[in-house]
Amino acid sequence: MGFKNYILVCGGTGCESSRSDQIYHALIDEAQAQGVSDQVQVIKTGCFGFCEQGPIVKILPEDSFYVQVKPEDAKELIAEHVIKGREVTRLLYNKAPRKAYEEVEDIKFYQKQLRIVLRNCGSIDPENIDEYIAADGYKALEKVLFEMTPDQVIDELKTAGLRGRGGAGFPTWMKWNFTKQAEGDEKYVVCNADEGDPGAYMDRSTLEGDPHSVLEAMTICGHTIGAHHGYIYIRAEYPLAIHRLEVAMKQAREYGLLGKDILGSGFDYDIEIRLGAGAFVCGEETALLQSIEGHRGMPQPRPPFPAVKGLWGKPTVINNVETWANVAQIINKGGAWFASIGTADSHGTKVFALTGKICNSGLVEVPMGTTLREIVYDIGGGIAHGKKFKAVQTGGPSGGVITEENLDTPIDFGGLQKIGSMMGSGGMIVMDEDDCIVDVAKFYLNFTVDESCGKCAPCRIGGKSLCNILEKITQGKGEPEDIKQIQQIAHAMRIGSLCALGQTAPNPVLSSLRYFPEEYQAHIHDKKCPSGKCKKLISYEINPSKCIGCTACSRKCPVGAISGEVKKPHKINGNVCIKCGVCKETCKFSAIEIH
Amino acid sequence: MAKLSLSELRSIREREERNLKKRDIHGRTVHVVVAMGTSGINAGAKVTLNAIADEVEKQGLGNVIITQTGSAYPNPEPVVEVFTPKDGLVVYGSVDKDAAIRIVSEHLVGGKIVEDKKIELKEEE
């Protein structure tokens, strides 16, 4: 007698922080206590992507999608759903009643998605190698070891047109080919898992949900280019991903899918994990290699490129996690299949981490060429709390803003560059009308200034100077010449910085200047912040026609800036007010306005 | 000497694939719903459910979803609903273990409705 129900519990970092691990154990315990542990299998999977609604629990075969589940709900789920076959409506995402035999329509969040990289995330147990093998795992490795020549593998990648998902979009087959052709007795394969863009977490989720897909791809690469050693460089801030990788590597070694004479092919290959300390600059490939070697993580001039002179001075292929996760699928299904997805410029899919002021934040994977409008409105469900859309920041601190007018631009590497942003690793931060564009640019610059390694002057000094100017502007001390100076410094940083961190650091400022010049002008000339974010440029005032004198705000004000008689309009003393905004939150009559 | 040979890897895949497929519900067009309300269970619906599940597994039917429902029917229980693209919804009453096996082999496999167990479901609003 097989299991009648399968319960999939999300085991991604997001859901685990909301106690999904406790839910998992509670479900097992409850199934035991209620005597149905032989009928139901509880499986902890990788990230479902719908992080907004987590923790997520999915029960099959009914395909019931339960959201925001708590450990306390386990008892009811087992008693009602598993034993009595009644869905627990209050926990369902889609609460509309349906007949049991009705086709389940995909939740809107998933309708436009196409999952290649995340294909196994949320469906298999990442800590069980057998499940990965069952889902066509290590099939591509078989093919590469026994049926294909290294040149055929590279040709397949070339046909596929896979481009690096770390941000720059360099053709993967070229990297592999250069390294293969490079002379050298020893070569290396490196996985860049030093994901650092604010808001981006696709690499983490891929490693947590499907670690074997990366191990398999790295082994394929090793065989193709003639390397016997791989390194995964991952930041220590990703403990769960590291744990899953370690489990996966241990299981792969037990099966001999890593180690000596893999599957009897005579090919030896193994992988090591190297932990990074979380420096953003170590995502830059030359700095990353320095860090693996035990040096301080500082970028090196290129050329020589890693393909010629990389780790320990040997030819090295270095790809990002998401790039690796595509490889086995391309070998299995063929390059032509992959090339048929996406646009002429960029093939395949891209995973985006959708965050910010959006209804459905989460991890989405869409074919290249999907428009931002589809991502923000159809998948993301639009702007939260009925606010107005302002812009989306893509490409993290190296990218730029995309505004309403470009929402229908198909997203691919070239398309994003044309509108002044970039793909980057796929972070997408949505801003609404309450976000001040100058403030956002300042945030990203502060980030890159913090993360600059300080090796070259344009980045070290330029970044700090830009930051100071933006600070000045948000303080209301901006001068008309500031704009020109921003452009000059940005230009110098672009051409003078050693690595991409410095070269692209001014992008958020430049792109926001390009699309929101009037907002900069409002700060500089009118000394006003239109979105009411910059504290030095705003004042809180009470609208006497709306204030009923309930005294709620004056009681809450931490500095006693509000005075007035009961049942009569109150007043805020601007000299005392610290602009904390508590009064505005407290007022039930919308009487407090920002000017 | 390799730890795992190619054929061993393939046999692991074959074995595990069968288990994983049970979780894949996409493209399954045949639905069997067993009424498991209190009165249904009392009438033996649990035996019926197990018999159907075992028989589906035995016959290796990959396109069948078996689910339960809690609603009580004013009908001779145990009640089993079978939905196929060809015949639509068919409701069976008084489905014991033997009838359950017949439903699987005659209706699900053979495509022939088990007429003597068929009942008309009273519409309830």
Report pLDDT digits (tens) over A191-201: 999 998 888 99
Residue A212 has what pLDDT? 97
> Strands A40-45 and A5-10: what pairing?
parallel
| Tokens coding A527 | 């000394």
Higher-confidence position of A319 and B114? A319
Residue with tokens 């159907």: B52
Q: In chain A, what's the furthest Cα-to-Cα distance?
A: 89
Considering only alpha carbons, which residue of chain A is nearest residue B89? A101
* CATH code, residues A437-524: 1.20.1440.230
CB atoms within 10 A of CB A409: 17
- Angle (nearest 5°) at CA A483 between A481 and A488: 95
d(CA A11, CA A21): 7
d(CA A264, CA A242): 29
Residue A403 pLDDT level (bands cut at 50, 70, 90): very high
Q: Over the stretch A411-454, which tens digit does the pLDDT of each residue have?
A: 999 999 888 888 888 999 999 999 999 999 999 999 999 999 99
d(CA A467, CA A448): 10
d(CA A66, CA A94): 9
Residue A433 has what pLDDT? 92
Residue range(s) occupied by CATH 1.20.1440.230 in chain A: 437-524
Average pLDDT, chain A: 93
Considering only alpha carbons, which residue of chain A is nearest residue B72? A84
Closest alpha carbon to A5 in A507, A30, A22, A15: A30
Q: At what angle do helices A321-333 and A211-225 cross, to 10 degrees?
A: 70
Closest alpha carbon to A361 in A50, A17, A110: A50
Q: In chain B, which residues have their Cβ closer than 8 Å to the Cβ of A1?
A: 50, 53-54, 57
Burial class (CB in 10 A: 0-12, 13-18, 19+), A419: buried
Cβ separation of A256 and B81 shorter than 8 Å?
Answer: no
- Give the distance from residue A10's alpha carbon to the nearest chain B alpha carbon, in angstroms: 15
Considering only alpha carbons, which residue of chain A is nearest residue B37? A84
As a whole number, mean pLDDT of residues A217-232 equals: 97
Cβ separation of A100 and B69 shorter than 8 Å?
Answer: yes
Residue range(s) occupied by CATH 3.40.50.11540 in chain A: 129-338
Cβ separation of B13 and A261 shorter than 8 Å?
Answer: no
Q: In chain B, which residues have their Cβ closer than 8 Å to the Cβ of A35?
A: none
In this complex, is the C-beta atom of A138 within 8 Å of any C-beta atom belonging to chain B?
yes
| DSSP structural state of residue A78 | I
CATH topology of domain A539-594: Alpha-Beta Plaits (3.30.70)
- 3 state SS of B62: coil
Q: In chain A, which residues have their Cβ closer than 8 Å to the Cβ of B22?
A: 2-3, 6
As a whole number, mean pLDDT of residues A294-315 equals: 94
- Give the distance from residue B105's alpha carbon to the nearest chain A alpha carbon, in angstroms: 18
| DSSP structural state of residue A146 | H
Best residue in B1, B4, B15 for a mutation probing chain A (most A CBs within 10 Å): B4
CB atoms within 10 A of CB A404: 14
d(CA B62, CA B60): 6
Q: How confident is the prediction along chain B (125 residues), in pLDDT tens digits per residue? A: 568 899 999 999 999 998 888 888 777 888 898 888 778 888 888 889 889 988 888 888 888 888 887 765 667 888 898 988 888 888 898 888 898 999 998 998 888 888 888 887 655 43
Q: Range with the lowest mean pLDDT among A69-83, A233-247, A375-389, B67-81?
A: B67-81
Report whether pLDDT(A1) > 50: no
In this complex, is the C-beta atom of A65 within 8 Å of any C-beta atom belonging to chain B?
no
d(CA A415, CA A412): 5
Report whether pLDDT(A84) > 90: no
Overall CATH class of domain B26-119? alpha beta
Domain boundaries, chain B: 26-119
- Angle (nearest 5°) at CA A52 between A49 and A58: 55
Considering only alpha carbons, which residue of chain B is nearest residue A265? B2
| DSSP structural state of residue A120 | T
Contact predicate A236/A242, CB 8 Å: yes
Closest alpha carbon to A7 in A49, A65, A53: A65
Cβ separation of A84 and B3 shorter than 8 Å?
Answer: no
Residue with tokens 């930041």: A235
Global pTM reads 0.90
Cβ separation of B20 and A264 shorter than 8 Å?
Answer: no
d(CA A499, CA A140): 35
Q: In chain A, which residues have their Cβ closer than 8 Å to the Cβ of B69?
A: 85-86, 100
CB atoms within 10 A of CB A535: 17
Number of H helices, E strands in chain B: 4, 5
Cβ separation of B9 and A133 shorter than 8 Å?
Answer: yes
Highest-scoring range by mean pLDDT, A148-152, A400-404, B68-72: A148-152
Phi, psi of B8 (to 5 degrees): -65, -40
CB atoms within 10 A of CB B42: 11
CATH topology of domain A129-338: Rossmann fold (3.40.50)
Phi, psi of A109 (to 5 degrees): -55, -30
| Tokens coding A257 | 């899918």
Residue B125 has what pLDDT? 39
d(CA B52, CA A166): 50
From chain A residues 173-232, the ones with a CB under 8 A of any chain B CB are none
Residue B71 has what pLDDT? 65
Cβ separation of B12 and A130 shorter than 8 Å?
Answer: yes
CATH 3.90.110.10 fits A349-432, yes or no: no
Report whether pLDDT(A158) > 90: yes
Q: Which ranges of B5-93 would DSSP assign to H, the alpha helix? A: 6-21, 38-42, 45-59
Higher-confidence position of A27 and B57? A27
- Give the distance from residue A146's alpha carbon to the nearest chain B alpha carbon, in angstroms: 9
Residue A61 has what pLDDT? 85
Residue A83 pLDDT level (bands cut at 50, 70, 90): confident
In this complex, is the C-beta atom of A6 within 8 Å of any C-beta atom belonging to chain B?
yes
Q: In chain B, which residues have their Cβ closer than 8 Å to the Cβ of A142?
A: 6, 9
Cα distances from A334 to residues A147, A160, A218, in angstroms, run: 14, 7, 18
Residue with tokens 């809690």: B70
CATH 3.40.47.10 fits A5-105, yes or no: no
| Tokens coding B41 | 């269970």
Report whether pLDDT(A375) > 90: yes
d(CA A209, CA A592): 47
Residue A320's DSSP bridge partners are A192
Q: In chain B, which residues have their Cβ closer than 8 Å to the Cβ of A261?
A: 1-2
Residue range(s) occupied by CATH 3.40.30.10 in chain A: 5-105
Cis peptide bond prior to B78, omega within 30° of 0: yes
As a whole number, mean pLDDT of residues A179-188 equals: 93
Residue A125 pLDDT level (bands cut at 50, 70, 90): very high
- Give the distance from residue B53's alpha carbon to the nearest chain A alpha carbon, in angstroms: 7
Residue range(s) occupied by CATH 3.30.70.20 in chain A: 539-594
- Give the distance from residue B36's alpha carbon to the nearest chain A alpha carbon, in angstroms: 6
Cβ separation of B57 and A2 shorter than 8 Å?
Answer: yes
| DSSP structural state of residue A396 | G
Residue type, A179: T
Residue range(s) occupied by CATH 3.10.20.600 in chain A: 349-432
Residue A420 has what pLDDT? 83
From chain A residues 388-427, the ones with a CB under 8 A of any chain B CB are none
Cβ separation of A85 and B36 shorter than 8 Å?
Answer: yes
Q: In chain B, which residues have their Cβ closer than 8 Å to the Cβ of A256?
A: 2-4
d(CA A510, CA A504): 10
3-class secondary structure for A207-256? HHHCHHHHHHHHHHHHHHHCCCEEEEEEECCCHHHHHHHHHHHHHHHHCC
Report whether pLDDT(A275) > 60: yes
Residue B73 has what pLDDT? 62
Residue type, A376: V
Considering only alpha carbons, which residue of chain B is nearest residue A268? B2
Share of chain A above pLDDT 90, in %: 84
In this complex, is the C-beta atom of A3 within 8 Å of any C-beta atom belonging to chain B?
yes
- Give the distance from residue A62's alpha carbon to the nearest chain B alpha carbon, in angstroms: 7
Higher-confidence position of A118 and A1? A118
In this complex, is the C-beta atom of A35 within 8 Å of any C-beta atom belonging to chain B?
no
